[in-house]
């Protein structure tokens, strides 16, 4: 009996070591505490709704960069920031904000407006420096309206502080794994999505290695329930020509006992809805997690205390497993 007890104690003591392979080390680093820290700050009233080009948006950007510096991840270029300008005709005329050079040139011929914006880009360099995968989320929201009666700040906890928290956890998870990925991973935080996916459009049209990007994973609103009777539902969009993306999630839910009930949307060219569209239009296969609309979408009531934290963490874990495969599988 004594020998049996000793054997059991030995196995119990060594189980964490046995279980913690590089992939699992990263998975174990994903925590609700980290998600709450990021989201509660980004969705606080002090950031005034993080509207692109405003003080609140700039504070959000500084926060994200400070997090990247703290965990010692390299910028994609010389700086974490990728600055760009967006232009629009003056407000009395109908028009959209534009970053396309031809559209901008036309707008500049008349009375126009300009916004100074900036994406944030970090990287973990892979063994192969000629191939890339990207995980991204937009960090801007729609700001505030002082003429509203009562709450006048559009805090954007779900849209899209929730997605930003997931990208930050991806950085931490890959560093925690201790293993260099096969492909270089770019961690992207887009500006100006609420104005028409401006940040991701600018990145795609100016990227010199666009043909070397093998996949893009997008987050936009991953923390709420559309159907309160089914709190584990999540919409999972992916490029139809890559059925492996669907199989990955099905297998990982079973293997890691993830508490998710995905609705699988295989889409020929997933060009709508969010920043995934910018990459899909360039022919890059995408994965997009989204928990769909809810009554607080684009309302001042999109607060952090309404989030389904358990679901947000399960989605973050599932997408980390996706990203691991995007970065390391030979083909898909």
pLDDT value for 55: 98
Residue 160: asked if its preceding bond is cis (omega within 30°), the reply is yes
pLDDT at 11: 36
d(CA 99, CA 97): 7
Q: How far apart are CA 69 and CA 138, in angstroms?
A: 19
Q: Is the peptide bond before 269 cis (omega within 30 degrees of 0)?
A: no
Q: What is the pLDDT of residue 20?
A: 75
CA-wise closest residue to 288 among 326, 328, 256? 326
Give yes or no for a contact between 151 and 204, defined as CB atoms under 8 angstroms apart: no
What are the backbone angles phi and psi of residue 228, rounded to the nearest 5°?
-65, -20
CA distance 156 to 115: 21
- How large is the angle between the packed helices 309-328 and 244-255, nearest 10 degrees? 130
Residue among 182, 191, 188 at smallest CA distance from 170: 188
Of all residues in the chain, the percent with pLDDT exceeding 90 is 92
Please name the fold of domain 23-83+118-328: Aminopeptidase (3.40.630)
Tokens 């030979």 identify what position? 330
Contacts of 72 (CB under 8 A, 6+ apart): 175
Of 20-24, 140-144, 301-305, the one with minimum mean pLDDT is: 20-24
- Is the pLDDT at 13 greater than 60? The verdict is no
The CA distance from 256 to 253, in Å, is: 6
Band of the pLDDT at 270, cuts 50, 70, 90? confident
Asked whether the beta carbons of 187 and 169 are under 8 A apart, the reply is no
Taken in order 48, 50, 51, 55, the sign of the CA dihedral is: positive
Please tell me the total number of residues recorded for the chain in this structure: 332
- Torsion angle, CA of 77/80/84/90, rounded to 10 degrees? 180
Query: Which residues, listed in sequence order, are joined to residue 201 by a DSSP beta bridge?
Result: none
Reading the block at residue 149, the tokens are 């009666």
What ranges do the domains of the chain cover? 23-83+118-328
Q: What is the pLDDT of residues 176-221, one digit of tens each?
A: 999 999 999 999 999 999 999 999 999 999 999 999 999 999 999 9
If you average pLDDT over residues 46-56, what whole number do you get? 98
Q: pTM of the prediction?
A: 0.93
How does residue 60 score in pLDDT terms, banded at 50, 70 and 90? very high
pLDDT at 68: 98
The pLDDT, as a whole number, for residue 10 is 35
Query: What does the alpha-carbon distance between residue 186 and residue 280 come to, in Å, rounded to a whole number?
Result: 17
Render pLDDT for 228-267 as a digit per residue (tens, 0 to 9): 999 999 999 999 999 999 999 999 999 999 999 999 999 9
């Amino acid at each position: 009996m004594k020998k049996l007890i000793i054997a059991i104690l030995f196995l119990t003591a060594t189980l964490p070591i046995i279980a913690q392979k590089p992939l699992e080390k990263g998975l174990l680093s994903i925590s609700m505490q980290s998600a709450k820290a990021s989201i509660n700050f980004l969705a606080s009233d002090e950031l005034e709704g993080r509207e692109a080009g405003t003080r609140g948006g700039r504070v959000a950007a500084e926060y994200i960069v400070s997090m990247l510096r703290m965990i010692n991840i390299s910028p994609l270029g010389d700086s974490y920031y990728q600055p760009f300008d967006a232009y629009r005709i003056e407000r009395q005329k109908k028009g959209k904000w534009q970053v396309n050079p031809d559209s901008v040139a036309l707008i500049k011929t008349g009375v126009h407006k300009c916004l100074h914006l900036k994406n944030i880009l970090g990287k973990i360099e892979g063994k192969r420096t000629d191939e890339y995968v990207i995980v991204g989320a937009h960090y801007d929201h729609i700001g505030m309206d002082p003429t509203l009666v009562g709450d006048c700040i559009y805090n954007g906890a779900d849209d899209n502080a929730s997605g930003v928290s997931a990208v930050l956890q991806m950085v931490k998870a890959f560093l925690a794994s201790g293993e260099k990925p096969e492909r270089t991973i770019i961690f992207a935080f887009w500006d100006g999505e609420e104005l028409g996916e401006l940040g991701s459009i600018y990145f795609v049209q100016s990227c010199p290695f666009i043909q070397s990007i093998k996949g893009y994973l997008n987050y936009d609103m991953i923390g709420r329930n559309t159907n309160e009777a089914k709190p584990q539902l999540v919409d999972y969009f992916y490029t139809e020509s890559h059925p492996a993306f669907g199989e990955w999630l099905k297998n990982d839910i079973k293997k890691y006992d993830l508490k998710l009930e995905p609705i699988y949307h295989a889409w020929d060219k997933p060009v709508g809805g969010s920043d995934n569209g910018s990459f899909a239009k360039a022919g890059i296969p995408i994965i997009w997690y989204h928990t769909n609309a809810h009554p607080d979408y684009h309302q001042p009531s999109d607060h952090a205390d309404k989030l389904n934290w358990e679901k947000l963490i399960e989605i973050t874990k599932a997408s980390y497993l996706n990203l691991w495969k995007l970065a390391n599988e030979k083909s898909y």
